[in-house]
Structure 1
Amino acid sequence: MSESDNPTPVGMRLQGVQHFGVTVQNMDRAFEFYTEVLGGTEVMRDGDFHGSEIHNTILTDEEIIAADRGIVPATIGVPDLMGGTQRLDVRFVQFDNVVIELLQYRNEDQSQGSGDSFAEPREHMSPAYPRSMHICFYIRDDVDFNQFITDLEAESARRGMTQVKANRVTTVRTEQERRDAPGNANTFKIRQGKSDGWALIYCKGPEGEQLEFVQALDPVKQTFAEAKARHEAKRS
């Protein structure tokens, strides 16, 4: 039997997750948050991408949708990379086990990293929408999770990043109620079932992006370790 008749399964050809990407409204603000607040390290930055190849690579599907609907592509957030009216800039930020890619689509008359995106930010940011994505960060086992959230909000506010707000486990319906919630209301801790030992909080980032912070203690920590070992065994 030839190799083509019995190919290596698709999933066995992967090396894991390389990065998560988030399109931002303001590149400098987002970069400051992910490097100076969350402590990531810059990998590289590049930009001024435009032309037909990059436009088609990223935006063909949206162009087809606009053509089918008979509408101007820009009305559904499609930048003109092909003609160069808009440009794409990227920055990569390294964390312990994953890379975050920040992308900004800006107008050509703006320099890299300055100004706002050419498109307006989305108004509906519920994580329940299909196609919504989030970036999840591990918190070390020895860190006080509730205090981490308090400090994250305070440090972000000090930098003018007022969008960085964590949800609470208690019911709040105003920003004042959110601020007044006790510190022990910051973290949802699961103490039973398969997820026993898992703690999480959902938080918006400086661009309105959905973030999650988690802590995984035993027994769920062991569950993940065993699954990782089984996965690595399949590849050996």
Structure 2
Amino acid sequence: MSDDPAGGNGSAGTDRRNVLRAAGAAAIGGLAVTAKAARSPAFAQTPAAASPGAAAGSRDRAPLGARLQGVQHFGLTVQNMDRAFEFYTEVLGGNEVMRDGDFRGEKIHNTLLTDQEILARERGVNPRTIGVPDLRDGGQRLDVRFVQFDNVVIELLQYRDAEQPMGSGDSWAEPRDHMSPAYPRSMHICFYIRDDVDFDMFIRDLEAESALRGMTQVKANRVITVTSEQERLAAPLDANTNKIREGQSNGWSLIYCKGPEGEQLEFVQALGPVKQTFEDAMAARRRMLAAAGG
């Protein structure tokens, strides 16, 4: 990743489940697409892709959707690596895949930051003032850790000053003050709750466990109107989940929650009709990929 490989290259930590599930494995919540999308022009089969006897290398002439294996990971830039890692492994139970870091140099700098440097030049400002770290000359460094869940990987990234030890302290840049999910370009990480889990109790226990660890940013919304943090905390247990029981989303339950870095999280549960909808969509996608030679 870096053209100066002097950085650390740690191995995976203790695997509490003793199983590292394959990254990007198919699952309802993570990779399902609608059956309508599976029939859209973007997934239309070309003659080369559809032909059972297509020559080797024809995958490169297939539609873009047929060249993908799904979602490999979601990335989250964090202010405090150790705090974020503790939340995603010890609170939410993910397994560490690997960690690496001390990335710097021209190649990695250009790979990650070219567009923002061009923007800074166009504005006539120092790139550092708009959140562009100096990986090229090594004033800042990049560290990463990968955490495996059942159906997807989360990558934690921290940009730190060169003098700051790996995995400790805060990021070199200040975090954004506002993280409303309504802002265009905002993204979120969605976790899929198992069918037999009480959603309301899960949210209650998530907040309690996080509070014990001093992670005061971990706050879930409520489905009733509250006007203060005191009212949010005093809300009844059944206000922890928005349970949709009609229309196309019948069986879908959800709530939005902030993570320890202020990041936007979502927790969902899919039961009944909506679960079947996602299962049908996944089956349709698998048939489409099989027909395209996947």
Under TM normalisation by the shorter chain, which class is it? over 0.9
- Residue 147 of structure 2 is aligned to residue 93 of structure 1: yes
| Structure 1 gaps, min length 5 | none
Can you give the 5+ residue segments of structure 2 that lack an aligned partner in the other structure?
A: 1-46, 49-56
| Aligned partner (choices 181, 184, 203) of residue 149 of structure 1 | 203
Instruction: Please report how far the alpha carbon of residue 75 of structure 1 lies from its aligned counterpart in structure 2 after TM superposition.
Output: 1.0
Structure-2 separation of matches of 1:72 and 1:133 = 27
1:126, distance to aligned residue in structure 2 (A): 0.4
The correspondence of residues 147-226 of structure 1 with structure 2, limited to 5 A, is 147-226=201-280
Q: Deviations over 1:144-173 (max 9, x none)?
A: 000000000000000000000000000112
**Could you list the runs of 4 or more consecutive aligned residues of structure 1 that deviate by over 3 angstroms after TM superposition?**
1-4
2:193 is the counterpart of 1:139: yes
Q: Which residue of 2 aligns with 1:11?
A: 65
Structure with the bigger RCO (C-alpha within 8 Å, sep 6+) is 2
SS of the residue corresponding to residue 152 of structure 1 reads helix
TM-score calculated relative to the size of structure 1:
0.98
Q: Return the letter of the residue paired with 1:151.
A: D
From 31, 49, 58, the equivalent of 2:103 is: 49
* Percent identity of paired positions between Structure 1 and Structure 2: 75
Letter in 2 for 1:92: F
Q: What are the superposed Cα offsets for residues 166-222 of structure 1, whole Å, 9 maximum, x if unpaired?
A: 000001121101001111000001111100000001000000000000000011000
Name the residue aligned to 1:234: 288
SS of the residue 1:82 aligns to: coil
Superposed displacement of residue 115, structure 1: 0.5
Q: Offset at 1:128?
A: 0.6
CA shift, 1:44, in A, is 0.1
Quote the Cα distance in structure 1 between the aligned partners of 2:231 and 2:135: 44
The aligned residue for residue 121 of structure 2 is 67
Q: CA deviation at 1:124?
A: 1.7
Q: How many residues align?
A: 235
In structure 2, what is the Cα distance between the partners aligned to 1:187 and 1:75?
A: 40
1:74 positional shift: 1.0
